[in-house]
Amino acid sequence: MNRLKTAFKILFIISWVCLFLWSFRSVRVRLYETVIWALGYGLAPGTSTPKEFIELSSFHPVSMLKPVQENFVKEPVFDTIEIHGHIFRDPPKDFLGAMDKLRSKYFINLSLQTVTASDYLTLRKKFNSERIFHFVGFNWKHSKDENFGSLMAKDLEEIAKLGARGIKLWKNFGLMVRDKNDKLIQLDDQRLDPVWDVVVKYNLLVCMHTADPPAFFKPLDEKNERFEEFAKHTSWSFYRDGLPSFDDLIEQRNRLFQKRRDITFVAQHFGESAHDLKRAGEILEKNPNVYFDIAQRIDELGRQPRAARKFFIKWQDRLLFGTDGLPDYEKIKIYWRFLETDDEYFDYYPPSKPRKGFWKISGIHLPKEALRKIYYENAAKLLGIKM
C-alpha cells in the first residue's frame, strides 16, 4: 500500500513538472521536432541543423528580393553645395578634384574644434579655396568661468573679423558641456546671449546638431531598433542618469529658435525629426528662421518614402543637401538615388560603412524644381553664393 502511495506521489509530481515545462513554447517546439524526426519527416540526410543563436555582428542576411527596377545614379541632376561636410585627418590629396567628381561646387567644412583666431588662420591656410567655407565652434574651454558667455563672444568675434561665415554646434552642447557648478549649460541659457549677439552682428549661419535619434535615449534592450549599433558602441547611448531626455533637448533647442528669431539656424540631421515628420513640419511652421539638412538621415526618411516625398515637396525651400563627411562617392551616390529615383528596398549605407539598423529604404523621386532648391539654391541664398 505504501509503495502504491509513493508511486502516485511520484506520478503526481512528474505530471506537474510536465505541465510546467509544457507552458514553455521552446519545449513544445522541441518535442514537436523530436516526434517529426522519429516519424521520419525530419531533415534530409546530410542536412545540418541551423544554429538557434548567431552573433548579431555576424548576421548579414542577403535579400532574395529581385527589384523590378534599379537606377544606379552616377551623378546628380544638378550641381550641389555640401552644407554638412567635415575635413577629417585623411582628406583626399586632390580635394577639389574629389569635389568635382561629385558635382559639389562648394564644401562647408564644419570644424567645431576651430575656436580661436589662430585655429582659424591655420585651417584656412591648409585648405585655402574660395570653394571651401570653414565654419567654427564655440570656445567651451571658458565654460567654467563666471563670465563664459562674454569670453566666448570675444573669441568668436575675432574669428568673424577674419571672414568666417558660420558656426558649427555639436551635440555636446546640451549633453556634456557644464558650467563651474557642474550643471549642464542648456541650449537656451541666457548667459550665452553675448555670443548670439556676435552671431547677429556678423550675420553668421548657425549649423546645430542637437541630440541624436530617439533610440539613443532608450534602454539598451531587445526593443531598441539600433541595438546592434549600441552593442558595438555602448558609450554612444545617452540612456543614463544625469542627462536630459530626447524631448527635453529638442524643447530647449526649439525655445532657442523662437528666442533668437534674428538668427538663421540649420537644424542638422533633419532637425532630429526624420522619424517624426509631423513634428518636423511643426518645427518649420513655427520657426521661419530654421532650415533642415538631410545629412545622415536618409536612413530614417527612406522608411516612409511617400510621406517623405510629400514633406520634401512642401518644404523644398527649407531643406539643404548634406552628407556629413568628406567627399565620398560610394556614400553620396546613395543620397542621389534616394532623392532622384523611386527605387525600392535598397541599402542606405555603402559596403564600407556599418548599418544602423535592420531595414532598407526607398527613393522619393523628387521633381527637378525641388531637387534644384535642395541641391544648391537654398544653400546659395543663405551663403550669398552665385552658382
Q: What is the pLDDT of residues 119-153, one digit of tens each?
A: 999 999 999 999 999 999 999 999 999 999 999 99
263 within 8 A of 269, measured Cβ to Cβ: no
In tens digits, the chain (387 residues) has pLDDT values of 666 677 667 776 777 767 776 677 776 767 766 765 566 555 555 555 566 677 877 888 888 999 898 998 999 999 999 999 999 878 999 999 999 999 999 999 999 899 999 999 999 999 999 999 999 999 999 999 999 999 999 999 999 999 999 999 999 999 999 999 999 999 999 999 999 999 999 999 999 999 999 999 999 999 999 998 898 889 999 999 999 999 999 999 999 999 999 999 999 999 999 999 999 999 999 999 999 999 999 999 999 999 999 999 999 999 999 999 999 999 999 999 999 999 999 999 998 888 888 899 999 999 999 999 999 999 999 999 988
Q: Could you tell me which residues come within 8 angstroms of residue 174 by beta carbon, excluding any fewer than 6 positions away?
A: 184, 185, 186, 187, 210, 211, 244, 249, 252, 253
CB neighbours (10 Å) of residue 275?
Answer: 18
Spatial distance between the Cα atoms of 110 and 34, rounded to a whole number of angstroms? 61
206 within 8 A of 169, measured Cβ to Cβ: yes
Structural domains in the chain? 2-48 (no CATH), 80-383 (3.20.20.140)
Q: Which helix (H) or strand (E) holds 89?
A: none
Q: What is the pLDDT of residues 85-120, one digit of tens each?
A: 999 878 999 999 999 999 999 999 999 899 999 999
Bridge partner residues of 319 (DSSP): 292
Spatial distance between the Cα atoms of 335 and 14, rounded to a whole number of angstroms? 62
CA distances from 97 to 68, 84, 135, 258, 328 (A): 35, 18, 21, 41, 12
pTM (two decimals): 0.87
142 within 8 A of 151, measured Cβ to Cβ: yes
Looking at residue 348, its amino acid is: Y
Q: Mean pLDDT score of the chain, rounded to an integer?
A: 92
